[in-house]
Amino acid sequence: MDKHVLLVEDEVNIIEAMSFLLKREGWKVGTHSDGATAVSAIRDARPDLVVLDYMLPGKSGIEILTELRALPDFAGLPVLMLTARGQSRDREEAERAGVNRFMTKPFSNTEVLNAVRDLVRV
């Protein structure tokens, strides 16, 4: 069975690049770009992995992650957080919220694929 990733990102270029990269690796890729409805989208999709942007319209990635971690069915869901902000306090905030991996934009294809493989053993 194919692994499913939900990409919660609002930058079209990142969505296109990551979707192409992950699909080429055999992933089923879903996308969502509104922070306000992201938790509902994740609950409906029930992905094996979420790639979550730190800054989204409607609700931040940190708020979304905090809500997910409070839901028993999603407390252990692997989450890779992406950010254009590479400050250590952002990383610390994400770690406190329960992120599994934190990656600063821009990133390489290899870096993304290694993170995804580490988070979900394929």
Q: For residue 8, is it within any domain? A: yes
Q: For residue 37, is it within any domain? A: no
What pLDDT, in 10s, does the model give residues 59-88?
Answer: 999 999 999 999 999 999 999 999 887 788
Q: For residue 105, is it within any domain? A: yes
Domain range for 56 is 4-26+47-113
> pLDDT class for 52, splitting at 50, 70, 90?
very high
Q: For residue 32, is it within any domain? A: no
- CATH, residue 98: 3.40.50.2300
C-alpha Rg value of the chain to the nearest Å: 13
Query: How many CB atoms neighbour CB 122 within 10 A?
Result: 13
User: What average pLDDT does this structure show over 93-101?
Assistant: 94
What is the reported pLDDT for 85? 75
What is the reported pLDDT for 94? 93
Residue 1 has pLDDT above 60, yes or no: no
Q: For residue 38, is it within any domain? A: no
Tokens of 12: 């079209």
What is the reported pLDDT for 106? 86
What pLDDT, in 10s, does the model give residues 11-50?
Answer: 999 999 999 999 999 999 999 999 999 999 999 999 999 9
The answer to whether 41 touches 72, Cβ cutoff 8 Å, is: no
The number of distinct structural domains making up the chain is: 1
Q: For residue 53, is it within any domain? A: yes
Q: For residue 36, is it within any domain? A: no
